[in-house]
Amino acid sequence: MNATNPVVNFKDKLLSDFQLFEQSLNGSSTLPIHAIRRKAIQHFDQLGFPTPRHEEWKYTNMAAVLRQPFRTQMGPPAIDLSADDFRPFLIDDLDAHVLVFVNGWFRSELSTSADEEAELCIGSFAEAQKGFAPAFDQHFAQHAAYTDDAFTALSTAFARDGLFLNVSAGRRVSRPIHLLMINDAREADYFVQPRHLLLLDANARATVIESTHTLGAGRSFSNIVSEVVLGEGAQLDYYKVQNDSPLASSIATIQAHQHANSLLRSFTLSLGGAMLRNNVNATLAGKAAHTDLFGLTMLKGREFVDNHTLVDHAVPHCTSNELYKGIYDERSQGVFNGKILVRPDAQRTNAFQSNHNILLSDGATINTKPQLEIFADDVKCSHGATSGQLDENALFYLRSRGLSLEAARAILVHAFAVEILNTIEVEELRTKLDAQITERLSFTF
Amino acid sequence: MSQDLALLEEVTNSDYKYGWVTDIEQEIIPQGLNEDVVRLISAKKNEPEFMLEWRLKAFRDWQKMKEPRWANVHYPPVDFQAISYYAAPKSSEAPKSLDEVDPELLRTFEKLGISLAEQKRLTGVAVDAVIDSVSVATTFKSKLAELGVIFCPMSEAIQEYPDLVRRYLGTVVPTNDNFYAALNSAVFSDGSFVYVPAGVRCPMELSTYFRINAANTGQFERTLIIAEEGSYVSYLEGCTAPMRDENQLHAAVVELVALDRAEIKYSTVQNWYPGDKDGKGGIYNFVTKRGICQGYKSKISWTQVETGSAITWKYPSVVLKGDESIGEFYSVAVTNNLQQADTGTKMIHIGKNTRSRIVSKGISAGKSQNSYRGLVKINKSAAAARNYSQCDSLLLGDTCGAHTFPYLEVSHSGATVEHEATTSKIGEDILFYCNQRGIDTEEAVALIVNGFSREVLNQLPMEFAVEAQKLLAISLEGSVG
């Protein structure tokens, strides 16, 4: 291939970064985690960045992002940041544990106090990597497949910092954990790769809100992989909030492994970003596990979101429910690819999936592919997908009662979004998002 | 043979009752494919120069193409050099009337339940019978000619109506459209040609019956149907093949062109030999079918009942180019034993106010895999386009699979696209209800499958609907309990 191809250059840069990284490790390159990293980088080398020729990337061409000259960082950057810089990103009135990550590196001095961290069972990712946490070694890179996904391979190869949460059996983390993922694009454009590992032991419970924010007028590109393991009866609510600058791109992957009776509730709320790709994959590996996947996308300008989900019913008696809604204005584009896989022995599975979209402008596009792959007969599975516009009759009804066209449209779009907003259980987050959506509709209720 | 034994034999053979071979003199060219073979086929057909050029171009494109592998079907690679690309029942001259047709051939079709003698006037179906690569007889030609309707073998059309063929052939499915379409364009030997002049409503069903007879051959037929302004035609095709242990390739291309206010209804009952219980033998059915609604308010409707073939891989499509044109797709695909089907449709909306409707019913039994794969594409120009798709799958047994891969691509805010799919099995309570009323389980399943498929079967012309219903029951025989 042409050596001046910027995408190839970026790949080469990452490969040589890895060599530098290895050299800097000295003694710790003999640790088991490093063997995984080395395997992962080899897979990345073989796979290369995906192109639209790849079925999973058919509608999503990352080249526009990958050809940007992003910088990478080998260690924690010395970035001067104060609480004022990220205050607007906090959720009003929400009593939460706030953990701040800057360019993918944890900043303890900006976060909740160390005592609270201990209470939360948040371990240092860096320490955990050195082999102090057996649970880390047991689960790291065991769930997110780095053999067939280039971005997961890349994340695995460069996994240095991120959230390491280990909630012990029966513990409930009462306050939500808010992860503030801040990318500094004030002086340079960075490619960052935070990596999370969330382990909830039997009957443990936690709520995590992860929001990404870019500082400054530059571009940012993050590749975030979260591995989630839910023990028997554990419950995790995981909110991804993407209301970032129109120059911020990200690949966000959640790979969950669920044991019996566990419950995962995932919320993907995409209100802004240049190029967002979200992969939410759940494997139901124990009886009576349940997965709820909710998504709301509201875009404008030339923004782009690709939501890929996979619910893998590996054992009998599990259920899943999925609802993604999208509102696309101006020249924005959306992709939805939801896959339900029912493995040969997973009898008595109930799996439902819906994807509904509204195009508000002729320049907007939605490509949706709801997919069922079913290898067992005693199942109830269905999916539905629609794309349309606001209901003429409803618009007429509102206008005949004296509302302007804009107001009538705003009410209907808001009503469309509310179905997802109502599933959000953290009230303060719901209020904040509702306010942002209302503001975007430039209408006060 | 005692009566019991006879009965037993009948039951065991009911798996595939068209599995016999007709012993007639065949003319088969040696296996293998190169430019000389393409030239030979063209020469045998005494084709004009433009056809040879067209074929050679397709052949050269084909050589550059790779065999597609994306479908959800698995099979060993096809050796394209081990196939004979031309087989024809031997006869010195083209038969002028049915009296001149080899009686053995007529018996073949009678055995298949298709009488070519015009005694079946009452049924009102005109038949074009194709054995291996060649059309052997076409009935009701003169009656149709009175109305100006042309219904003849493709090879004849190339001789008699070269202008029409030249104008339309390859316009809907270009020679380089895909691997199998290119192959077909290079080597096709016959097929049906239909031309319905403006304002004519074709008074009878037109039907083609395809039969593969020779071993180690592939069947490559090409069908072209042109419906002029304001005309209507209903066309049916049926297919069978002998039981053989080797897989045989069937790669057909069908092109439909509907002009202003014209309507084409195309029905298929596909019953190629599906292979035996262990998946040995059977036809690879890799077909490209596409219609274009060229004119204002034109309509194309595909109905298919797919019960045969070891592997079915086809997506009858409609390009909705004319404003207010309509595309429809009704399908029942049944797979049993080790059959694999990856079938569906494409609806490409280009014109304003275009509408499409997709109803697909998949039934899988045994160890089969049945996939629906469909595309609904709403272009930027397709204002107020409307689509509704429904794909239901029924699973009989826990070793089969049902898969749905719908692609919806919407680029116009005024379009309304709806898709829904369900997958389920026949509920035990329903079977119990039937059993209670004295209907045994196998019959009950047939009843339920028929009900499940009715929406599609209703679209078939009556003679075919009855046959299709029987076919469904036979295909699923032995799949319960």
Domain spans in chain A, listed from the N-terminal domain onward: 6-286, 390-445
Hey, is the C-beta of A138 within 8 angstroms of any chain B C-beta? no
Hey, is the C-beta of B416 within 8 angstroms of any chain A C-beta? yes
Q: Strand B150-153 and strand B192-196: pairing? A: antiparallel
Hey, is the C-beta of A344 within 8 angstroms of any chain B C-beta? yes
pLDDT digits (tens, 9 = 90+) for B36-56: 999 988 988 889 999 999 999
- Residue A345: closest C-alpha in chain B: B398
Distance separating alpha carbons of residues B371 and B343, to the nearest angstrom: 6
> Which of B397, B414, B418 is opposite residue A377, by nearest beta carbon?
B397
Contact B423 A389 (CB under 8 A): no
Average of pLDDT values for B69-95?
76
- Write down the number of H helices and E strands in chain B: 11, 24
Q: Which residue has the tokens 């503030």?
A: A180
Contact B416 A388 (CB under 8 A): yes
- C-alpha B350: how far from chain center: 25
Q: Which residues of A touch B401 (CB under 8 A)?
A: 373-375
DSSP 3-state assignment of B57?
helix
> Which of B393, B395, B410 is opposite residue A359, by nearest beta carbon?
B410
Q: CB count, 10 Å around CB of B207?
A: 25
pLDDT digits (tens, 9 = 90+) for B367-410: 899 999 999 999 999 999 999 999 999 988 888 899 999 999 99
What is the predicted pLDDT for the residue at B125? 59
Amino acid at A329: D
Distance separating alpha carbons of residues B100 and B117, to the nearest angstrom: 12
DSSP A381: E
DSSP 3-state assignment of B318?
strand
What are the residues facing B391 on neighbouring strands?
A: B360, B421
Q: Which residues of B touch A369 (CB under 8 A)?
A: 405-408
Closest Cα to residue B287, out of B264, B268, B263? Answer: B268
Closest Cα to residue A250, out of A186, A193, A185? Answer: A193
DSSP B201: B
In this predicted model, which residue has the larger pLDDT, B165 or B143? B165
The first and second tokens of residue B79, run together, are: 């050796």
What is the predicted pLDDT for the residue at B460? 81
Q: Would the pLDDT of B108 be above 80?
A: no
What is the predicted pLDDT for the residue at B111? 64
> Which of B398, B403, B410 is opposite residue A387, by nearest beta carbon?
B410
The first and second tokens of residue A133, run together, are: 């946490």
Contact A357 B410 (CB under 8 A): yes
Q: What is the largest CA-CA distance in chain A?
A: 75
- Write down the number of H helices and E strands in chain A: 11, 20
Q: Would the pLDDT of B270 be above 60?
A: yes
Of the ranges A308-317, B80-89, B262-271, the best mean pLDDT one: A308-317
Hey, is the C-beta of B375 within 8 angstroms of any chain A C-beta? no
Distance separating alpha carbons of residues B408 and B427, to the nearest angstrom: 31
Taking a C-beta distance cutoff of 8 angstroms, is the pair B270, B309 a contact? yes
Closest Cα to residue B362, out of B315, B408, B307? Answer: B307
Distance separating alpha carbons of residues B176 and B180, to the nearest angstrom: 9
> Which of B70, B405, B413 is opposite residue A361, by nearest beta carbon?
B413
Q: Strand B299-306 and strand B263-270: pairing? A: parallel
DSSP A217: S
The first and second tokens of residue A324, run together, are: 């993604």
Model pTM score = 0.88
What is the predicted pLDDT for the residue at B122? 39
Measure Cα distances from B480 to A241, A308, A311, B396, B402 in Å: 50, 37, 30, 7, 17
φ/ψ (deg, to 5) at B459: -80, -15
- Residue B395: closest C-alpha in chain A: A377
What is the predicted pLDDT for the residue at A240? 97
| Binding-face residues of B in 44-83 toward A, CB within 8 A | 70
Distance separating alpha carbons of residues A424 and A377, to the nearest angstrom: 34
Task: Tell me how far apart the terminal alpha carbons of chain B are, to the nearest angstrom.
Answer: 30
H or E element, residue A251: strand A248-258
Q: Which residues of B touch A360 (CB under 8 A)?
A: 413
DSSP 3-state assignment of A177?
strand
Q: Which residues of A touch B422 (CB under 8 A)?
A: 380-382
Amino acid at B250: H
In chain A, which stretches have pLDDT less than 50? 1-2
DSSP per-residue string spanning A26-58: GGGGGSHHHHHHHHHHHHHHHH-S--TTSGGGT
Mean pLDDT of chain B: 83
Distance separating alpha carbons of residues A243 and A89, to the nearest angstrom: 10
What is the predicted pLDDT for the residue at B5? 42
Confidence bin at B6 (pLDDT 50/70/90): very low
Average of pLDDT values for B438-459?
86
Taking a C-beta distance cutoff of 8 angstroms, is the pair B265, B301 a contact? yes
DSSP A13: H
Distance separating alpha carbons of residues B105 and B84, to the nearest angstrom: 21
Q: CB count, 10 Å around CB of A397?
A: 13
CA distance A323 to chain B (A): 14
- Residue A328: closest C-alpha in chain B: B413
- C-alpha B79: how far from chain center: 23
Confidence bin at B15 (pLDDT 50/70/90): low
> Which of A357, A379, A384 is opposite residue B420, by nearest beta carbon?
A384
Confidence bin at B12 (pLDDT 50/70/90): very low
Average of pLDDT values for B301-322?
92
ipTM given for this complex: 0.84
Q: At what angle do helices B462-475 and B441-457 cross, to 10 degrees?
A: 140
The first and second tokens of residue A237, run together, are: 């609510």
pLDDT digits (tens, 9 = 90+) for B418-427: 999 988 888 8
What is the predicted pLDDT for the residue at B479? 61
Distance separating alpha carbons of residues A53 and A59, to the nearest angstrom: 9
Half-sphere exposure of B363 toward its Cβ, with a 13 Å CA cutoff? Answer: 28
